[in-house]
Amino acid sequence: MSQTYESPIGVAQIGVGYWGPNLLRNLFSSPYFSVKMVIEKDRGRRQFVEQFYPGIPVYSDISAALNEKNVQAMVIATPVASHVSLGLQSLDAGKHILVEKPMATHPEEVRQIHKAAKSRNLVAMVGHTFIFNAAVKQVKEIIDSGELGDIRYIYAQRLNLGRIRNDVDALWNLAPHDISIIQYWLNDPEPIKTQRIGMAYVQDGIDDVVFLNIIYPQNVMAHIHVSWLDPHKIRQITVVGTKKMVVYDDIAESKIAIYDKGIDPLAVLGDRMDFDTGGVPEFTHRSGDVVRPKVPWREPLQVEIEHFSQCILQGIDCKTGTAHAEKVVGILRRADTIQSGR
C-alpha cells in the first residue's frame, strides 16, 4: 500500500446493535486498534457504550468519524441495507472498512466497494467470522490433505428457536455463514446451479425457513437448511468424501469428528480365479474408527480483528475480501431470483 500506518490503528465503529457489542469488545481489547469513537443513532445503545466504555466518545452522526483524521478504519455493524452506503462513504473519506456480513445485497454493489477500495489502496473486508474459526480452518486442512478423498456432498444445518429479523429473511441472516464456510473449504468455486425453497410463516414476505441446494463442478452438491423456527439448536456441517467423512459441530465440545466410513466395491472371484470380472457389482460397508482431533481454541472474532489489522499494516491478502464477499452475495442473490420466479 502507498500509505504507512502505525499500530494501534485509530478505528470508529458504526452500530452497536445485536452483534456490535462483540465487535466493540474485541476492538477495545485489541493491541492493534485504538477505538476513537462509536457512531450509534439509537439513544439506548449510546447509553450502553457510555456505561461500559466511558472513555469512548459516542456520536449519532457518521460525519464525526468521516472528518476525524485520527480514524483510519471503520467497522460497520448496521442493518444490511445500509452497508453499501456507509462503506462507500467511509472509503471516499480514506478509511479502511470491515463490514458485517453480508457485505451487500447484490454482487454489483460488492464490485462498487471493490473498485472504490482499490482506487484508494484501502482494505475492504467482510465479517465472515467463521473463516477465522480454528475448527473450520482445521476441516479445510483435512479436505486439502486428501484424507477424505474426493468430496461428494456437503450439508449444513443452522437452526434455532431464536431471534427473528424483520429486515432480512432467514436465508440472508443465517446462510451467509454456511455459504462462506463451504466456499472456503472448496476454494471459492463458481456454482453451476442453485435451488431455493423457503416459506414465510410469521411475517409476510420474510421466509422463516429456507432450504438451499447448490451444485458445484465435479458433481459436488451442497445443501443448506436454515431456520429460526426450530425446536433444536444446531450448528453443524457434514462433509462426505469417497474415503472418509467429517462432521463440524460448532456447539459440541468436540468440534470435529472424522469418520472412517464408506461404501467400497467388493472384490468378486471370477471363473478363472481372477477378481472383479464382469457381472453385477457388489459393495461392502466400511466402518472404521472415529477420530476427534483436538482443536486449539481462540475466539474467531479476535482472530478476524487481528487479520483486519494485518491487512492494513502489512498489506497481506484479505481472506474475506471483496472477491469472497461477491461469491457469497452472488449465491444469495441467485437464490432469491429463483425464489421470485416460482
Per DSSP, the three-state class of 187 is coil
The residue among 99, 140, 114 whose CA lies nearest residue 308 is: 99
CA atoms of 200 and 338, how far apart (whole Å):
16
**Would you state the pLDDT for residue 277?**
60
**Would you state the pLDDT for residue 271?**
60
Domains and CATH numbers, the chain: 9-127 (3.40.50.720), 131-300+332-340 (3.30.360.10)
Q: Say if CB 197 and CB 264 are below 8 A apart.
A: no
**Tell me, what amino acid is at 183?**
Q
User: What is the band of 341 on the pLDDT scale with cuts at 50, 70, 90?
Assistant: very low
Question: Radius of gyration of the chain from Cα atoms?
Answer: 23
Residue 317 is given by DSSP the state P
In SS3 terms, 1-62 reads as CCCCCCCCEEEEEECCCCCHHHHHHHHHHCCCEEEEEEECCCHHHHHHHHHHCCCCCEECCC
Higher pLDDT, 242 or 266: 242
The residue among 71, 36, 41 whose CA lies nearest residue 56 is: 36
Angle at 318 between CA 151 and CA 132, to 5 degrees: 60
Q: What is the pLDDT of residues 90-148, one digit of tens each?
A: 999 999 999 999 999 999 999 999 999 999 999 999 999 999 999 999 999 999 999 99
Strands, sheet with 220-227, edge to edge from the N-terminal-most edge strand: 193-199, 209-216, 220-227, 151-161, 229-241, 245-249, 256-265, 283-291
The DSSP bridge pattern shows strands 33-39 and 9-14 to be parallel
- The pLDDT of 211-216, averaged and rounded, is 97
**Would you state the pLDDT for residue 273?**
58
**Would you state the pLDDT for residue 246?**
98
**Would you state the pLDDT for residue 264?**
73
**Would you state the pLDDT for residue 207?**
96
**Tell me, what amino acid is at 256?**
I
Q: What is the pLDDT of residues 301-331, one digit of tens each?
A: 999 999 999 999 999 999 999 999 999 999 9
**Least confident range of 75-89, 239-253, 269-283, 286-300:** 269-283
The DSSP bridge pattern shows strands 73-76 and 9-14 to be parallel
**Would you state the pLDDT for residue 237?**
98
Q: Residue 342 pLDDT more than 60? A: no
User: What is the band of 2 on the pLDDT scale with cuts at 50, 70, 90?
Assistant: very low
Is the pTM of the predicted complex or chain greater than 0.75? yes
- Locate the DSSP E strands across 205-267: 209-216, 220-227, 229-241, 245-249, 256-265
12 exposure class (CB count in 10 Å sphere: 0-12, 13-18, 19+): buried
The residue among 72, 68, 54, 58 whose CA lies nearest residue 16 is: 58
Q: What is the pLDDT of residues 222-249, one digit of tens each?
A: 999 999 999 999 999 999 999 999 999 9
Residue 281 is given by DSSP the state -
Phi then psi dihedrals of residue 216, to 5 deg: -105, 170
Length of the chain: 342
Q: What nine digits make up the cell of 105?
A: 445485497
- The pLDDT of 30-41, averaged and rounded, is 97
